[in-house]
């Protein structure tokens, strides 16, 4: 029989870096990282008003089987985010309020799952945030082996154990822990820069002037005219 592994030890990023990336949010952190790291948009927030960042505990499950989620709970620590994938596509509801209760008891901040969740009303009532591919009541079994804390791919994005996972209403971002401090610094610069832009846009400055886009529009052959010419070609 093949051996599967539950890896206990994970190298986590420092809490101040994780907090800074949560505050920056997914869109800004993703830009600051060089427009990399986003999970695909099929994985969506299933609630409003939640923004989290934490260290990834990764789980690779057999489709329709949540055995390895139970196995993963034991290696979670406060501040972690559970990232669950299946070895072939599945939207079964492999996670609900009981598993959320178990994760919360370990201090886990939330769940990102490339599959389905259920008990969504209770999850919302509990304030336990989930990002999932589907909401589906379809039940699952506990029968097949899998792995915990190995690299996984969720909605097209590689996620390694200990990656910084940032999740909010815009989606989910995964960054290598080693890049966290540099990205948090770039995100802070970006936020400061955006504050200035926001003020100028609110005062009526046009984006074409703010970003000096008029020469580019001209170069691209875009002309401002009062009326379309008879022969627009
Ligand atoms: O128990 C399951 O299979 C999933 C679920 O509904 C829960 O965690 O509450
Ligand atoms: Mg349930």
Looking up tokens 């997914």, which residue turns up?
26
Cβ neighbours around 181 below 10 Å, total:
15
C-beta of residue 61 within 8 angstroms of C-beta of residue 85: yes
Measured from the alpha carbon of residue 103, the closest ligand is: 1
Dist. CA 109–CA 57, nearest whole Å: 11
Is 160 known to sit in a ligand binding site? Answer: no
Verify whether ligand 1 is closer than 6 Å to residue 137 (CB atom): no
With a threshold of 0.95, tell me whether the complex ipTM lies above it.
yes
Residue 208 near ligand 1, beta carbon < 6 Å: no
Which atom of ligand 1 approaches the CA of 100 most closely? Answer: 8
Q: What is the pLDDT of residue 125?
A: 98
pLDDT averaged per 10 residues, the chain (length 233): 95 98 98 98 98 98 98 98 98 98 98 98 98 98 98 98 98 98 97 95 97 98 94 67
Going by C-alpha positions, the residue among 112, 65, 119, 71 that lies closest to residue 92 is 65
- Tell me how far the alpha carbon of residue 121 lies from the centroid of ligand 2, in angstroms: 11
Q: Which pTM was predicted?
A: 0.94
């Amino acid at each position: 029989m093949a051996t599967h592994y539950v890896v206990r030890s994970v190298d986590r990023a420092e809490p101040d870096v994780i907090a800074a990336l949560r505050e920056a949010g997914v869109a800004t952190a993703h830009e600051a990282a060089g427009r990399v790291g986003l999970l695909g948009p099929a994985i969506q927030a299933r609630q409003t008003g939640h923004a989290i960042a934490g260290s990834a505990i990764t789980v690779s499950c057999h489709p329709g089987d949540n055995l390895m989620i139970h196995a993963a709970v034991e290696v979670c620590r406060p501040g972690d985010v559970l990232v669950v994938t299946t070895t072939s596509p599945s939207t079964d509801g492999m996670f609900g309020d009981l598993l959320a209760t178990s994760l919360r008891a370990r201090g886990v901040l939330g769940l990102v799952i490339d599959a389905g969740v259920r008990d969504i009303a209770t999850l919302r009532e509990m304030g336990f945030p989930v990002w999932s591919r589907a909401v589906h009541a379809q039940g699952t079994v506990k029968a097949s082996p899998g792995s915990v804390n190995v690299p996984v791919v969720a909605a097209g994005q590689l996620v390694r154990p200990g990656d910084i996972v940032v999740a909010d209403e815009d989606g989910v971002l995964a960054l290598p822990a080693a890049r966290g401090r540099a990205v948090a610094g770039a995100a802070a610069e970006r936020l400061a820069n955006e504050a200035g832009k926001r003020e100028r846009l609110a005062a009526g400055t046009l984006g074409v002037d703010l970003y000096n886009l008029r020469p580019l529009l001209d170069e691209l052959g875009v002309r401002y005219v009062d009326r379309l010419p008879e022969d627009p070609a």
